[in-house]
Structure 1
Amino acid sequence: MSTPFPFSALVGQDEMKRAILIAAVEPAIGGLLVLGDRGTGKSTAVRGLAALLPRMRAVQGCRYHCDPAASSACEDCARLRLAGRLKTEEVPVPVVDLPLGASEDRVLGALDLERALSQGIKVFEPGLLAKAHRGFLYIDEVNLLEDHLVDLLIDVAASGENVIEREGLSVRHPARFVLVGSGNPEEGELRPQLLDRFGLSVEVKTPSDIAQRVEVVRRRDAFERDPVAFTTLWARQDAKVRRQILQARERLPDLVVGDVVLHRAAELCVAVGSDGLRGELTLMRAARALAALQAAPEVTLAHLREIAVPALRHRLRRNPLDDTGSGQRIERAVAELWT
């Protein structure tokens, strides 16, 4: 397995890095969409997340690495418990890639043909959705994903469960993951149904600052020359970010979003014409996660203001009479409402 570029060594792209950390602290946000120019570090940032995340406790021998403290048990956990062999272990948080050309069997899971032919027994071979349970499912060029895979993802993301009924198999297993997508909007748009499933949406652009561009090239060259030495150089910074995530997760349950902040969130969503109520829910969850990351004693309007654009920019309807971008429309509404 190739060494990922250290997350802490990324230059600039502060909005993207902040959104990734928020998604790592609060998976209930629903995922992250990163759109922008080619070669701006979108894939690099997401892949760097894998090495950054703290390890998680899981049931040993469970194909879905279930949480031992979960109230419901999958068939693997139930079998292990019945046999008196339920043990736990610490495993890395999965960050699973979903290739654009993947088949449905590869994504959902299918019958293990080798064991079916050699032993005459039907055994389920888990797919990518099973491997991503309790972790992150990453789709590069998500706007080019085939429609049949989009439909599958929408169904599973909504239910948190994958159901397979085929080839004499009847299997259901947990599949709760944070959906992370990246892409270049010039190459195609996302279907609205999938777009709505992402909690946060950030835009990245090619830096125009000369010093910043030089630093990006310098760090990338150093990494390619000696990945191990470069990763070691940034290990302390990555460990610091990892501790920040862990401490934020511990603070999160104690942070309460007050009625004043909730009222402001709803006020903003109405002002910009956000469809549905996912806008308010995302604003609340993201503001709370940001406050936890910053070790703030409470969630304030400042936190709401900071995450308003990534939480709402992909939820606005296009206005043919207004050619400004969605981000500018939200910032304008924030300035009018909260000054």
Structure 2
Amino acid sequence: MNPVLENSLEQARPVFPFTAIVGQEEMKLALILNVIDPKIGGVMIMGDRGTGKSTTVRALVDLLPEIQVVADDPFNSDPQDPELMSQEVRERLQRNENLPVTTKKISMVDLPLGATEDRVCGTIDIEKALTEGVKAFEPGLLAKANRGILYVDEVNLLDDHLVDVLLDSAASGWNTVEREGISISHPARFILVGSGNPEEGELRPQLLDRFGMHAQIGTVKDPSLRVQIVEQRASFDASPVEFRQTYQDSQAQLGNQIVEARKILPQVQLDYEYRVKISQICSELDVDGLRGDLVTNRASKAIAAFEGRTEVTPEDIFRVIPLCLRHRLRKDPLESIDSGDKVRDIFKRVFGYA
């Protein structure tokens, strides 16, 4: 899209600033950590209606850093990493072609609730393939979301088959479309963010487990805080551009902090003793598989990087471990997801906290 047109569209529909969002720290932290380390595996946000889930996720767009992409490539191919390149770009490299490179902001793609599998995965033009002998592929939302964020509002109302497709692509980093003996694959590495209202039903446990983190949010109870939130929303609705300018500095500061955290993340160390204790907590909580261990390790490093440190502390682990484990606990089917208190109690005992 023409940059001038894109900018004018942004001005026509300004987004609520992320740093202006009051409360809901757990949700904001989970989103930020996933941007710092996309390999955490996404976040599922569950909460009451009208608690700002969609507003917060969409507000993240402003903070997303820029990435290098191959120009005019529908898959946002990385010019350096073959694992993040489309087949066409890899073939061009093998032919020693000069790839034009440009920078763009990490994109956020909204997945509509009524989307079909073809819309999500892409389609193959069989007629063109048979008559012209070329693999004519029309990319879907997974192609557009490569190296970005895929947001699904009301994910618990999405067809289970489609959720499976999304989670498989998010886990493998690839999307494969097969039709009439023709198969096309392309990279699809994205941060999957889902939101939903628990009153409309939970995701099946085996699907829920595939989300790296789970943030629970509730309606703010403090009357003065509620007034502040209402007044902020009214100010934004009355004059969005002016309201956004008020938060320009804090937005820039948080955006820079995320960029720096992504740079130092590879240097962050997690002590072996702490890794053993994380696994001990997972074992005592009877968490199935090793996803809980892996995600907690990654999230602990990401929060240390976010705060500009290269050593993980027990406090870092304490802050992220409920987000990483609460949705993996075995529970009575009639119970709602544990608030995280059980996870914190085991943490305190294993780490020797009073």
TM range (shorter): over 0.9
Answer yes or no: is 1:129 the counterpart of 2:161.
no
SS for the counterpart of 1:165 is strand
Whole-angstrom CA distance in 2 between matches of 1:291 and 1:187: 36
Per-residue Cα deviation, 1:80-137 (whole angstroms, up to 9, x for no partner): 4337241110012111111111011100001359989xx9976211000000000111
CA shift at 1:233, angstroms?
1.6
Structure 1 residues 316-325 or 179-188, which shifts more? 316-325
C-alpha RMSD over aligned residues: 2.4
Q: Return the alpha-carbon distance in structure 2 between the equivalents of residues 60 and 79 of structure 1.
A: 15
Task: Give CA-to-partner distance per residue, 1:287-307, whole Å, 9 cap, x none.
Answer: 000001111241011111111
Percent identity among equivalent residues?
Answer: 46
Q: Which amino acid aligns with 2:15?
A: P
Deviation at 1:158, TM superposition (A): 2.6
Q: Which residue of 2 aligns with 1:336?
A: 349
Q: Unaligned regions of 5+ residues in structure 2, if any?
A: 1-8
Match of 1:223 in 2: 236
Name the structure 1 match of 2:88: 76
1:264-279 matches, cutoff 5 A: 264-279=277-292
For residue 38 of structure 1, the aligned residue among 24, 49, 57 is 49
Instruction: State the match for 2:40 in structure 1.
Output: 29
1:137 aligned partner, one-letter code: L
Question: Which residue of 2 is the match for residue 161 of structure 1?
Answer: 174
Aligned with 1:241 (options 246, 249, 254): 254
| Matched-pair contact (CA < 8 Å) for 2:327–2:338 | no
Contact 1:316–1:326, Cα closer than 8 Å, also in 2? no
Give the conservation status (yes or no) of the 8 Å contact 1:314–1:326. no
Aligned partner (choices 296, 312, 316) of residue 299 of structure 1: 312
Runs of 5+ unmatched residues, structure 1: none
2:240 is equivalent to residue 203 of structure 1: no
Between the aligned partners of 1:238 and 1:305, the Cα distance in structure 2 is: 27
Counterpart among 53, 61, 72 of residue 50 in structure 1? 61
How has the CA–CA distance of structure 1 residues 322 and 14 changed in structure 2, closer, same or farther, with 3 Å as cutoff?
closer
Query: Given residue 314 of structure 1, which amino acid in structure 2 is its aligned partner?
Result: H
- Give secondary structure in 1 for the equivalent of 2:194: strand
SS at match of 1:162: strand
2:110 matched residue in structure 1: 97
**Cα distance in 1, alignment partners of residues 235 and 41 from structure 2:** 35
**Distance of aligned partners of 1:320 and 1:206 in 2 relative to their CA distance in 1, 3 Å threshold:** closer
Counterpart of 1:299 in structure 2: which amino acid? V
Secondary structure in structure 1 of the residue aligned to 2:69: strand
User: Does structure 2 retain, via aligned residues, the 8 Å contact 1:16–1:202?
Assistant: yes
Report the Cα offset of residue 19 of structure 1. Answer: 1.0
Deviation of residue 323 (structure 1)? 9.0
Describe the superposition over 1:191-233 as per-residue Cα deviations: whole angstroms up to 9, x where unpaired: 2232111111110011011111111111111111121111122
Aligned AA for 1:234?
A: Y
Aligned to 2:162: 149
Matched, 1:87 2:100: yes
Q: How much does 1:55 deviate?
A: 1.2
CA contact (8 A) 2:68 2:103 kept: yes
Residue identity opposite 2:194 in structure 1 = G
